[in-house]
Structure 1
Amino acid sequence: MPGIAEIALAGAPIAGGALLGMAAGNLKGPDIQGLIVKDMDLLARIPEDQVERRAELQRIINLRIDDLIAAVHKNRELRQLAASYEGNWRDIVVFVCAVLFTIVWWNVDHGRTNWLVMFIVLIVLSVVAFVYAVRGIVRGVRRLLRARHRAAHGQ
């Protein structure tokens, strides 16, 4: 059925952009707290006479705890930075992806029945994404200028 294949091909750029957006929101790091708990359980199970092993495992636990504390401090800094940004970095990513998908779609055979409709959708998506990206950048610059102005005037 060529009609279904053309519909699937027309939706591929939009589906790719949606998948990229979903992936960007679901990235997670390792569970350091869970690793510490497991290591402490393992430390409790190692016999007291294995002093070297216990000491080495305790050193590893201490390193992980230090990493966890450092990560909390870094997370706090990143949250403060993210809270100060009124736009969203995903706006810029969506804009870049929309432009790239538009360029790819331009190179598809123009004789396809769905080519023009999909090209128009991609152009509209690119323009909307551009507006959101610029809006976020302008807000960030304004906030930076206000902060510098306040700092210069001792407020």
Structure 2
Amino acid sequence: MPGIAEIALAGAPVAGGALLGMAAGNLKGPDIQGLIVKDMDLLARIPEAQVERRAELQRIIDLRIDDLITAVHRNRELRQIAASYEGNWRDIVVFVCAVLFTVVWWNVEHSRANWLVMFIVLIVLSVLAFIYAVRGILRGVRTFLHARHRAAHGQ
């Protein structure tokens, strides 16, 4: 069974990267709305005579509400930027880097257990990066031609 063990060891870096990517996508911050509700409940339970504690807790609630509003505005801006992305020079840079790393990996000792698996992953990554780069270039050319066409017809 050394063949299965070698395959498992060879795929470990790729599987680890995939797991890290999945974990990064699932990370969530604290539930600020839930914290605000709990703080407001706590504020209602603090006796009226404890003015300083009530004032401090109210200040914390106000800060959390401000943070929530700021986060909503920031998320909206990030969504607008992500939705307007049509590809640009970064796609080309990713493609060039993927190809260069593939060339470097080709010169690594081929007897390593994970050489073939990583080389296949790098080839797939290079092809995907190439597709995104070509898509971005085509969109840029299409936008340029469309703008030139509108300018020629006085629109």
Verify same fold: TM over 0.5: yes
Identity fraction in percent: 72
> Where has structure 1 moved over 6 Å in runs of 4 or more?
94-101, 142-146
- Please give the residue correspondences for 1:79-90 in structure 2 after superposition, counting only pairs within 5 Å: 79-86=79-86
Gaps of 5+ in 1: none
> How many angstroms apart in 1 are the aligned matches of 2:102 and 2:23?
21
How well do the aligned residues superpose, as a CA RMSD in angstroms? 3.8
Check whether the contact 2:98–2:129 (CA below 8 A) recurs between aligned residues.
Answer: no
Change (3 A) 1:73 1:125: same
Change (3 A) 1:69 1:9: same
- Please give the residue correspondences for 1:29-44 in structure 2 after superposition, counting only pairs within 5 Å: 29-44=29-44
Alpha-carbon offset, residue 18 of structure 1: 1.5
Alpha-carbon offset, residue 100 of structure 1: 9.6
Q: Which residue of 1 aligns with 2:121?
A: 122
Change (3 A) 1:104 1:127: closer
Supply the AA of the counterpart residue of 2:48: E
- Please give the residue correspondences for 1:1-150 in structure 2 after superposition, counting only pairs within 5 Å: 1-86=1-86, 109-111=109-111, 115=115, 117-135=116-134, 137-138=136-137
Check whether the contact 2:32–2:64 (CA below 8 A) recurs between aligned residues.
Answer: yes
Gaps of 5+ in 2: none
Check whether the contact 1:10–1:118 (CA below 8 A) recurs between aligned residues.
Answer: yes
Tell me the secondary structure at the aligned position of residue 80 of structure 1. helix
Alignment length, in residue pairs? Answer: 145
Can you list the C-alpha shifts for 1:27-63, whole angstroms capped at 9, x where unaligned? 3222110110010011011011001100110111111
Check whether the contact 2:7–2:114 (CA below 8 A) recurs between aligned residues.
Answer: yes
Change (3 A) 1:7 1:78: same
Tell me the secondary structure at the aligned position of residue 47 of structure 2. coil
The structure showing larger relative contact order (alpha-carbon pairs under 8 Å, at least 6 residues apart) is 2
Alpha-carbon offset, residue 85 of structure 1: 1.4
TM-score (normalizing by structure 2):
0.69
Tell me the secondary structure at the aligned position of residue 72 of structure 1. helix
